[in-house]
Amino acid sequence: MRFGWLTLAHSGSPEADYGAIHDLVTQACFAETAGFDGIWLTEHNFTGESVYCDPIPFASVVAARTSRIRIGFAVLQLALRHPIRLATELALLDNLSGGRLDIGVGHGTNFNEYEFVGFGLRSDDSRERMEETLDVMVRAWTESPLVHDGKFYQLRLPELRPRPRQRPHPPVWRSVSSGGSLRECGRLGAPIMMARIPLSRVPERLALYEAGLAESGLDTERRRELREQAALWRFVHVAESQAQAEDELTRALLQTRRHMVHAREAHNPADFHVEATRVNPWNDPRVSDEDGVRYSLETSTLYGTPARVTEGVAELRDAGVHHVLCQMSYGYLPQQAIMESMRRFGEDVIPKFR
């Protein structure tokens, strides 16, 4: 099995940002020491939901201080970025890291409309913007000269320099949740990462991805690689006792949820509404914070002693999961608790699945 370390670390106030950013650098670099296969960085803007906001410059610091671990994005919000600037920055970062990038892409947040508004946009056309940005980005890495006449961009450039270190370009991952998206990603031969879906839904989702892979035209070995790379996101916290892990994680998730829900209520435009299919008790503002956290603890979390977390990982493996993205960094957990959790996971859990 493969294990990624993922951060979505809130910062509770502007005054706390400096310390939180440097704590995250320490955690991300320690992920390599602890034995994780990848670092996965999220992107959010304006409210401290991802304290560094832009994961690309943050990743450059991590790349300079690590040597083995892969560095991924979960995900870059393509609708908010210019495709040539993005292609250039990522190509440079792939060179600086020695070809260790994994590029997860998405159209942007489904919940924080204020992030689009902050860039002078709305989310209505975000999927179209994403697809055009993705097309231009990949072509910029592989074509010279590049000529593009699209809905959002009209571009002429002789050549993108530098080219990415990985050829033809770094892997481009898709974040998916719906059955149709999973099957389509399989047909495209795209690596996937899945959100914190309940264990009971995992085999069905993986079967849809496999069905798409069967229609992709890829050879058997490549289909097997993609199937084993398919990643599932989980909250993870390891402590000395089950009670300690539950208490620490519950407090952190309660504060995380309050921060998240308050920001949306305070800053989203009045005319914005979340698609009903996207809502679950964790992110539904009509559900109490306590019930939302309880839902996450029951359906999408690995927590407790190393032995109990090992059992949880084994359950995922038995359901067909070979790659887990472990969110171990929470803005409302002390740095020492996070580092101890990472150390325990690296020493007592990961080796069981090698």
Beta-carbon contacts of residue 170 (< 8 Å; ≥ 6 apart):
90, 94, 99, 101, 102, 103, 164
pTM: 0.97
- Secondary structure of the chain in the HEC alphabet? CEEEEEECCCCCCHHHHHHHHHHHHHHHHHHHHHCCCEEEECCCCCCCCCCCCCHHHHHHHHHHHCCCCEEEEEEEEHHHCCHHHHHHHHHHHHHHCCCCEEEEEECCCCCCHHHHHHCCCCHHHHHHHHHHHHHHHHHHHHCCCEEEECCCCEEEECCCCCCCCCCCCCCEEEEECCHHHHHHHHHHCCCEEECCCCHHHHHHHHHHHHHHHHCCCCCHHHHHHHHHHCEEEEEEEECCCHHHHHHHHHHHHHHHHHHHHHHHHHHCCCCCCCCHHHCCCCCCCCCCHHHHHHHHHHHCEEEECHHHHHHHHHHHHHCCCCEEEEEEECCCCCHHHHHHHHHHHHHHHHHHHC
Q: Which residue has the tokens 């940002």?
A: 17
190-210, pLDDT tens digit by residue?
999 999 999 999 999 999 999
What domains are defined for the chain? Answer: 2-242+301-353 (3.20.20.30)
18: pLDDT strictly greater than 90: yes
Residue-wise pLDDT tens digits, 142-194 = 999 999 999 999 999 999 999 999 999 999 999 998 888 999 999 999 999 99
Q: What is the pLDDT of residues 87-131, one digit of tens each?
A: 999 999 999 999 999 999 999 999 999 999 999 999 999 999 999
Per-residue confidence band for 340, with pLDDT thresholds at 50, 70 and 90: very high
Q: How confident is the model at residue 4 (pLDDT cuts 50, 70, 90)?
A: very high
